[in-house]
Chains A and B, each alone.
Chain A
Amino acid sequence: MRATFKGTPKGSGAGSMQALYAQLLVGLINGSFYALLSLGLAVIFGMLNIINFAHGALYMMGAFVAYFLLNLGGINYWWALLFAPIIVGIFGMILERTMLQWLTGLDHLYGLLLTFGIALIVQGVFQNYFGSSGLPYAIPDQLKGGMNLGFMFLPIYRGWVVVFSLVVCLATWFLIEKTQLGAYLRAATENPTLVRAFGINVPRMITLTYGLGVGLAALAGVLSAPINQVRPLMGADLIIVVFAVVVIGGMGSIMGSIITGFALGVIEGLTKYFYPEASNTVVFVLMVLVLLVKPTGLTGRAA
């Protein structure tokens, strides 16, 4: 069972439009997490050619780091948005330096199995100490309450998650598509040997890229903590859908991951309204259809 925000059940009569808008909002919130996570996966896959199955565990670690920072260090949500991605990003870079870098040039399966193993270990350790139930993480005071938009009631924190995720996604897209650093990344995705022969330290760039992708997962974890609570299996529940999002968008496609993430969140939300029974499977049905029609994904390029 996935632990995404459930929202209001389908209403009827005058309340049904409000219920539709509520489900659209739920879809956008879930889409925000899908987009942030699939963006990180796309960055990592594009650069390292690794299908990072540890992404869900690293998302969970982001939420736990925010929890520890608050409860052990008195560091609030706003600082956690900065520190948790950095701390988990450094953890990711250590993983890349000590384990993942040795898989360069090998079949995708090795990376998938290794990161799957890492995910199981990380989740197991957290489960051992914290069990399976959720730990509470309060919404920061500045984002409590809601706004009446006339056609629906908007909880401020949920609006914040959507806007902030969108800004982070677009900033990441800008970094990769429109800057010199991004040009290095894109070029190294195509031909790392030649990029290195131009004088660029590609192994260091790969490590930093993995750190960036992991940092995005951790950031999503912090954003999710006040909505979904902090649980060792929160990432495991989400990651399968996120992989479906990445497959639909196209592996390695940055904008594809962002658009598909938000779009599938909305489609899922609409399905919850129109045909709730299919809401948990609609993403996978779409994945199958896309794989049948365009195996490289909607915006992906053939290898």
Chain B
Amino acid sequence: MPDTAIAEAPAKAATGGNILQVRNLEAWYGESHILHGINFDVNAGEVVTLLGRNGAGKTTTLKSIMGIIGKRTGSVKFNNQEIIRATSDKIARSGIAFCPEERGIFSSLDVRENLMLPPVVREGGLPLEQIFELFPNLKERLNSQGTKLSGGEQQMLAIARILRTGASFLMLDEPTEGLAPVIIQQIGHTIARLKKEGFTILLVEQNFRFASTVADRYYVVEHGKIIDGFSNAELAANMDKLHTYLGV
């Protein structure tokens, strides 16, 4: 199935208007050509998950959308504005927030400073009381050094700090990686709650079981291309294919 057709078909399950449109996205790390023409859409209010094996290009896709990858071509439209040539600070200020795979907690900052670090880019961000309601552990550890938190708490902090900013489109890169099942469950509840609050979420996950509890739609990435896509309703019918794609 051609890429563009994949991008269009699952979008029918949309819950709102098109918010992100990625077309023919290519990206390079130095001389290495990583993305070979990625196409997909995300609609407002959805949770869309990029699935794929290690090294397939999922994280690079997020980084390319965020403007972190130096060399990239194609088209990325956010709210109908072309952002492929924008710098990452301008992309962030347009309302996209990114939570990296390695969490990016700053060791020279305490939890409070880490939490307050990203500037508010627009109105509508969650107030601190609501953030502490979602992540009560953080409130108790505000004065601790950011990197002294447990892995789960660091992940919560990494998500919490982008909720303040007013960004409505969140990109979460493997938020469950290396976490205990009970924490994964808590992060799942948080994502479901954020969806209810109206956030649109683009998720990168290798943990398919976790993704299936929160996602509306899935795209499968392989060798820097989207090779398949389906909605949550079509999941059961696609399980065999999915196992093959993910090698599980």
Contacts and interface: CB of A to CB of B under 8 A. Distances in A.
Nearest to A205: B89
A9 to B, nearest CB: 45
Contact of B165 (A193, A199, A202): A199
A200 B117 CA distance: 10
A58 B86 CA distance: 35
B66 A197 contact: yes
Contact of B104 (A184, A194, A202): A194
A184 B89 CA distance: 13
A200 B92 CA distance: 8
B113 interface: yes
Nearest to B120: A199
Contact of A193 (B68, B91, B108): B68
Contact of B92 (A184, A189, A191, A198): A198
B16 interface: no
Contacts of A180: 116
B106 A191 contact: yes
Interface residues of B, number: 25
Nearest to A200: B89
B107 A190 contact: yes
Given A186-B108, A189-B108, A199 B89 contact: yes
Contacts of A198: 89, 92, 97, 117-119, 162, 165
Interface in B26-50: none
Interface string A167-211: 000000000000010011011011101111111111000000000
Given A180-B116, A194-B100, A187 B89 contact: no
Interface string B83-119: 0000111011100011010001011110001001111
B121 A199 contact: yes
Given A180-B116, A183-B113, A184-B117, A196 B88 contact: yes
B67 interface: yes
A225 to B, nearest CB: 36
Where chain A touches its partner, the secondary structure class is: helix
Contact of A191 (B66, B88, B104): B104
A-side interface size class:
10 to 19
Nearest to A197: B88
Contacts of A193: 68, 88
Contacts of B113: 183
Contacts of B66: 197
Interface string B67-81: 110000000000000
B108 A197 contact: no
Nearest to B107: A190
Given A183-B113, A194-B100, A199 B118 contact: yes
Contacts of A190: 106-108
Contacts of B104: 191, 194
A184 to B, nearest CB: 7
A180 B162 CA distance: 16
A196 B100 CA distance: 13
A174 to B, nearest CB: 14
A183 B88 contact: no
A187 B100 contact: no
Interface in A241-280: none
Nearest to A195: B117
A100 B88 CA distance: 21
Nearest to A204: B89
A201 B89 contact: yes
Interface of A: 180, 183-184, 186-187, 189-191, 193-202
For the complex of A and B, 10 pairs with smallest distance between CB atoms: A199-B92, A198-B118, A186-B108, A197-B88, A194-B104, A187-B106, A183-B113, A199-B93, A196-B88, A196-B89
Given A198-B92, A198-B117, 19 more contacts: A186-B109, A187-B106, A189-B108, A190-B107, A190-B108, A193-B68, A194-B104, A195-B117, A196-B89, A196-B92, A197-B67, A197-B89, A197-B98, A198-B97, A198-B165, A199-B118, A199-B121, A199-B165, A200-B119
30 contacts: A183-B116, A183-B117, A184-B117, A186-B106, A186-B109, A187-B106, A187-B109, A189-B108, A190-B106, A190-B107, A190-B108, A191-B104, A193-B88, A194-B100, A194-B104, A196-B87, A197-B66, A197-B91, A197-B92, A198-B89, A198-B97, A198-B117, A198-B118, A198-B119, A198-B165, A199-B89, A199-B119, A199-B165, A200-B89, A201-B89
